[in-house]
Chains A and B, each alone.
Chain A
Amino acid sequence: MTALSAIAIRELTKFYKGSEELAIDHISLDINKNEIFGLLGPNGAGKTTTISILCGLFPPTEGTVTIDRLDIRTDHEKIKHIIGIVPQEVALYPTLTGFENLRFFGNMYGLRGKLLKSRMDEYLSRFGLEKFARKRVVTYSGGMKRRVNLIAGLLHKPKILFLDEPTVGIDVQSRHVILEFLRELRETGTTIIYTSHYMEEAEKLCDRVAIIDSGRIIAIGNPKELVEKNPEFKNLENLFLGLTGKDLRD
């Protein structure tokens, strides 16, 4: 682990009972502060398991993980205060308004009063949702839901933000706003761990990426440098397909 590391992962292994293979097979890597780190891989590669362990949803079978120098096994509750999660599914209460959802999640982070209101106003404005804040989420478009989903993970201004496919299934405008925002967020000192199936998006956004398959890291580095090192592939998507194969995954 270096002084720049926001997350240090060593020999991380996860084995599910009843499974014949390791879901994560001795992964080691460092994710630097103020970095947008892309975790890429086909379905079933181990991305969700890795993020779930990092978020403390379940413990690893073996290995160590420190987040901002806090051990996930012993300092799990402290870690919850410094991380933010934006799950792949829109994790909002559909019958509540955007405002009520954000107030609830803000409250759960311990935010209240003027501080919470100013944060909500700031993000609702930033994502163009002020006019819709008092409408029920169930009436929102897919892009609006994604934006509120993102805000819910940002209200407490986490040091480390996990984004699980935040732009899946949304319109170009919403995607543009979200990606622009993530770049800005990095400038303010937030470390972002991001998973996506959009290789072009990852190539443009991420400072570094790790390509995972069958629970192992098969490539890691700056997307541009990875492509340069493998001249037979013209872009990250070709590299990804070259490394993980073209067979369909479940």
Chain B
Amino acid sequence: MFKYFAAYRKEWLILIRDPAGLVLLFLMPMVMVVVLSMVQEFGWSTVSREPQVPVLFVNNDRDSVGDKFQTGLNEARIFTLISEIDSVPVTQEMARQMVLEGTYQIAVVIPERTSERIRAKIRLLVNKTMTSLMMPDQDLLAGVTNNDSVEILIYFDPAVRNSFRNAFLSATKEFNAKIESRMIFETFQEELRKYFPQFNMPIIDYEQSVYFTEIFPSGVEEELLPSTTQHNVPSWAIFAMFFIVVPLTSSIIKERDEGNLIRLMTIPVSYMTIFLAKVGVYLVICFFQFVLMVLAGIYILPLFNMPPLEIGTHYLAIAILTIASSLAALGYGILLGTLSKTHQQAAAFGAVSIVVMAAVGGLWVPVYLMGSVMKHVATFSPLNWAHAGFLDIFLRGSTLKDILPELIKLFVFFTVTISIAAIYRTIKPPIST
């Protein structure tokens, strides 16, 4: 243990001799978590409090349907409708051109006579129904043809993601369905009033009869709302933690390049002692990096009008999972630093492999959305194990016992990687001949 602590002290001294580097080690992951969480929150959140996406809106209808569309989309508070630019009303051609140029991502064009044509279509429908009830009304058919369909044009920037396009189309179609059904309801009401004027029927507002209540089962008493923060902070925090691989590999390669590893190999001290001293120091860094990132989620994100991170009350489970995740990252870093011949190799492979493991592990795209092959591959990513563990604790209120499988996998990964590194170094000394 004496040699371990001596090596541990040496590692700390080397780290603190580069105070700027040390500050960056803590600061950059925190900045990353805050910035990327904000980008994702404002880009994808469905619970945004402020309209986010500017949409060009061309209302050539200038009647009830066009107006209702405009009001409805504005009230949805997801989009900012733009009908005029520099006091000039937006035309269809302007809208098409600006989407083509990428100035705007979406443009909606409500064609002329939209309201009139929808009304005609509805009158036709109502007349058919009334005729079948032996109450035909020829007035309803005035000016109606069978081809009076309405085509609302929506221009999309090709750069818009499919998922966002689908979300926008769903919202628009749903809104249109509401307008149409309301108009059908109102036309029927009017028609019935004609037949039964003695009843003085009031205009009844159609009210939605089916409501959807979202429930997120959680192991804690107080239900946790799975906000984007709950998903983003653990994802980016784990991603940042694994980036410890870059400075760690650099430290290993530097020690080798400076000739110190060769000297150490001729001294009665094991590689494991040297490796574990590095792990000990960088484990403290990783742990406090994670603490800072979590604190940023709790205290800094709300300053930007985002929901705070809820971490529940299982602090011991969080701490142990943080240690296990850090060890997995450090084991990988030690292995990479040992196998890499140059800084460039380690930095390039280290960074790219972490991005790949993060992507494969479901940090950016949830595993349940992946194909069957990728779902299987995801189970081999240590970032996936860590992520699954944190989501279990943060969103499902899981305990230490519940996340035991993830913990075991992370500890085994650490043991295997650091053992391979030690065996490799024993077989292949870092010496050029």
Contact = CB atoms under 8 A, between A and B. Distances in A.
Interface of A: 16, 23, 48-49, 52, 55-58, 77, 80-81, 83, 85, 87, 89-96, 100, 103-105, 107-110, 112, 136, 152-153
A87 B259 contact: yes
A108 B6 contact: yes
Contacts of A112: 2
B267 A80 contact: yes
A83 B2 contact: no
B268 A96 contact: no
A100 B260 CA distance: 14
A56 B6 contact: no
24 contacts: A48-B431, A48-B433, A49-B433, A52-B431, A56-B266, A57-B262, A58-B431, A77-B268, A80-B266, A87-B259, A87-B262, A90-B258, A91-B259, A92-B258, A93-B10, A93-B14, A104-B6, A104-B7, A104-B9, A105-B267, A107-B7, A108-B6, A108-B7, A108-B267
A91 B269 CA distance: 16
B272 to A, nearest CB: 13
B14 A96 contact: yes
A84 to B, nearest CB: 8
B35 interface: no
B371 interface: no
Contacts of A83: 266
Contacts of B262: 57, 85, 87, 91
Contact of B259 (A58, A89, A100): A89
Q: Is the interface of A mostly helix, strand, loop or mixed?
A: loop
Nearest to A97: B13
Nearest to B257: A89
B263 interface: yes
Interface of B: 2-3, 6-7, 9-10, 13-14, 17-18, 255, 258-260, 262-269, 429, 431, 433
A55 B433 contact: no
A87 B265 CA distance: 12
A94 B268 contact: no
Contact of B258 (A58, A85, A93, A108): A93
Contact of A109 (B17, B18, B268, B431): B268
Contacts of A89: 258-259
Contacts, number: 84
Contacts of B268: 77, 80-81, 108-110
Q: Which 3 A-B pairs have the closest CB atoms?
A: A107-B6, A91-B259, A89-B259
Given A91-B258, A93-B260, A108-B3, 13 more contacts: A83-B266, A85-B262, A85-B263, A87-B262, A90-B259, A92-B260, A93-B10, A100-B13, A104-B10, A105-B263, A108-B6, A108-B7, A153-B263
A102 B247 CA distance: 25
Contacts of B429: 52, 57-58
Contacts of B267: 80, 105, 108-109
A87 B3 CA distance: 22
Interface centre among B2, B3, B264, B268 (most CB of A within 10 A): B268
A85 B36 CA distance: 50
Nearest to A138: B17
A133 to B, nearest CB: 15
A55 B265 CA distance: 9
A56 B268 CA distance: 11
A30 to B, nearest CB: 22
B36 to A, nearest CB: 32
Contacts of A93: 10, 14, 255, 258, 260
Interface centre among A16, A77, A80, A81 (most CB of B within 10 A): A80
Nearest to A89: B259
B173 to A, nearest CB: 64
Contacts of A87: 259, 262-263
Nearest to A78: B268
B227 to A, nearest CB: 44
Contact of A100 (B10, B264, B431): B10
Nearest to B265: A57
